[in-house]
Amino acid sequence: MNTLKPLVILTLALAASVSSTTAQQPKGGKPPISFTAATLPKDDAEKKILAVLADINANQRRGSMSVPEQDGRILRVLTEAIGAKHVVEIGTSVGYSGIWFCLALRSTGGKVTTFDIDPGRSAKARENFKRAGVDAMVTMVFGDAHDTVKQLKEPIDLLFLDADKEGYLDYLNKLLPLVRPGGLVVAHNMDQRMADPRYVKAITSNPALETLFINMETSGIGVSLKKR
């Protein structure tokens, strides 16, 4: 697993540098330099999953608060790069980010445990996991995650926080002990408007964590490595 560490650092550095590149206006009034790359399915199963993701994006985005596609791709890359076997997601909604995790977990042989409090969105998520063919990799836990996360006992490779923003600190306090050394805590909506300053302080003042903020010109993602 040690050999994966440089890969993760490279991935994060690339994400950070691409976002700063796209934000810069080169001299001479030329348009900003930016490169884009679409996700190319490597097999039929991946094609089917990407089609479901595209459908959710097109038809279920309203009221779902799902992450943007670019952020879903970042989640997939991080998960696959660290060889995650167990992802914990707080905030399932209709399953969009969960399916991005599953794209990675197909390759790592892993699984995702995902938590939500809303019955309507949870029912939609269940349907979406099924039609993407990833339901066997997913455990859904219904209820207030501040209570239900207490049932978690297994080590976590990647913890994704994307529910009530003022609850991030409580989730971190409860679940960081389960995150394995070399694992990641990824927090969505780290923009100044939405981020809870108490959470930002916790992840930037703990010497056991190496924290980066990426995609700050859009939704903002905090990525904290739990050092080995």
Verify binding: residue 129, ligand SAM, rule CB under 6 A.
no
Binding residue for ligand SAM (CB under 6 A) from 46, 118, 196, 210? 118
Subset of 32-51 contacting ligand SAM (CB under 6 A): none
Per the CB < 8 A criterion, the answer to whether 103 and 74 are in contact is no
Sites for ligand SAM among residues 155-214 (CB under 6 A): 162-164, 167
Cβ closest to ligand SAM, residue 179 vs residue 187: 187
Q: Is residue 103 near ligand SAM by the rule CB under 6 A?
A: no
How would DSSP label each residue in the chain? Answer: -TTHHHHHHHHHHHHHHHHHHHH---TTSPPPP--------SSHHHHHHHHHHHHHHHHS-TTT-PPPHHHHHHHHHHHHHTT-SEEEEE--TTSHHHHHHHHHHHHHT-EEEEEES-HHHHHHHHHHHHHHT-GGGEEEEES-HHHHGGG--S-EEEEEE-S-GGGHHHHHHHHGGGEEEEEEEEEE--STTT--HHHHHHHHS-TTEEEEEE-TTTT-EEEEEE--
Q: Which is nearer to ligand SAM, 12 or 88 (CB)?
A: 88
Binding of residue 104 to ligand SAM (CB under 6 A): no
Using CB under 6 A, which of the segments 32-40, 79-87, 111-119, 196-204 binds ligand SAM? 111-119
**Residues numbered 58-77 forming contacts with ligand SAM, rule: CB under 6 A:** 65-67
Does residue 215 touch ligand SAM according to CB under 6 A? no
Strand partners of residue 116: 142
User: Per CB under 6 A, which region of 39-47, 78-86, 92-100, 209-217 contacts ligand SAM?
Assistant: 92-100
Q: Give the one residue of 146, 174, 206, 212 binding ligand SAM; rule: CB under 6 A.
A: 146
- With binding defined as CB under 6 A, does residue 144 bind ligand SAM? yes
Using CB under 6 A, count the residues that bind ligand SAM: 19
Q: Which residues bind ligand SAM (CB under 6 A)?
A: 65-67, 91, 93, 96-97, 115-118, 121, 144-146, 162-164, 167
